[in-house]
Chain A
Amino acid sequence: QKEVEQDPGPLSVPEGAIVSLNCTYSNSAFQYFMWYRQYSRKGPELLMYTYSSGNKEDGRFTAQVDKSSKYISLFIRDSQPSDSATYLCAMSAPGTYKYIFGTGTRLKVLA
């Protein structure tokens, strides 16, 4: 079993839809959680960063962490065709400096 599990998709939604992307993990020591967006042939770019549990909102993006369920989510409101990309979750435990990434979910927002 991988430490971080993420559905690879692809996930296709119509423009304007609310998108929910998720990751589960097995290591209860993880405290730092991130979401990256990766366009084709580009490097990952950080979207959201959350420490421990709770919600964080930035524009159309909301990140949620549920440590009791070992489950994190990224919500995208009013999705746009420009949101079409692969979304990667990443997480880390204190003191390790090693970020473990999910496999990424491919998202297609249809105009």
Chain B
Amino acid sequence: GAGVSQSPRYKVTKRGQDVALRCDPISGHVSLYWYRQALGQGPEFLTYFNYEAQQDKSGLPNDRFSAERPEGSISTLTIQRTEQRDSAMYRCASSVQGQTGELFFGEGSRLTVL
């Protein structure tokens, strides 16, 4: 497709389970970002990839959160031992090259932890 694709769109899980959220960026986009957006708030930075290299993970809340982009294209955000406070919209964005400004966002993955 032409845009950033995220899956699943909705995920409901029980506390303590692991979840994996997938992002397929726009073809050719070098930079990939993960953000988290709470209701009524702006997106909060989680991590940034340049090709396959994770260049900034300063926004990951704790060591239960990890992300990878092994071949420089599709990325996976993994949350281990989920907690209720992890419930949020997780958004992926990509850009041709970091810092040029045009971040293209996907529709997001809504995570609900019961």
A positions within 8 Å CB-CB of B: 4, 6, 8, 32, 34, 42-46, 49, 51, 88, 90, 92, 94-104
Contact = CB atoms under 8 A, between A and B. Distances in A.
B48 interface: yes
B42 A98 contact: no
Given A88-B42, A92-B99, A98 B105 contact: no
Given A92-B101, A104-B40, 18 more contacts: A6-B42, A32-B101, A34-B103, A42-B107, A43-B106, A43-B108, A44-B91, A44-B103, A44-B105, A46-B103, A51-B101, A97-B48, A97-B99, A98-B48, A100-B45, A102-B42, A103-B40, A103-B41
B101 to A, nearest CB: 4
Shortest beta-carbon contacts, A-B, top 3: A101-B42, A43-B105, A49-B101
Contact of B102 (A4, A49, A96, A102): A49
Interface residues of B, number: 27
A99 B42 CA distance: 11
Interface in B47-81: 48, 50, 55-56, 58-59
Interface of B: 4, 31, 33, 35, 40-45, 48, 50, 55-56, 58-59, 91, 98-99, 101-108
A12 to B, nearest CB: 17
A43 B107 contact: yes
B65 to A, nearest CB: 16
A69 B50 CA distance: 33
A97 B93 CA distance: 12
A96 B56 contact: yes
Nearest to A91: B101
A99 B99 CA distance: 9
5 contacts: A8-B40, A43-B91, A44-B105, A51-B101, A97-B48
B97 to A, nearest CB: 10
A32 B4 CA distance: 22
Contacts of A92: 99, 101
Contacts of A43: 4, 91, 105-108
Contacts of B107: 42-43
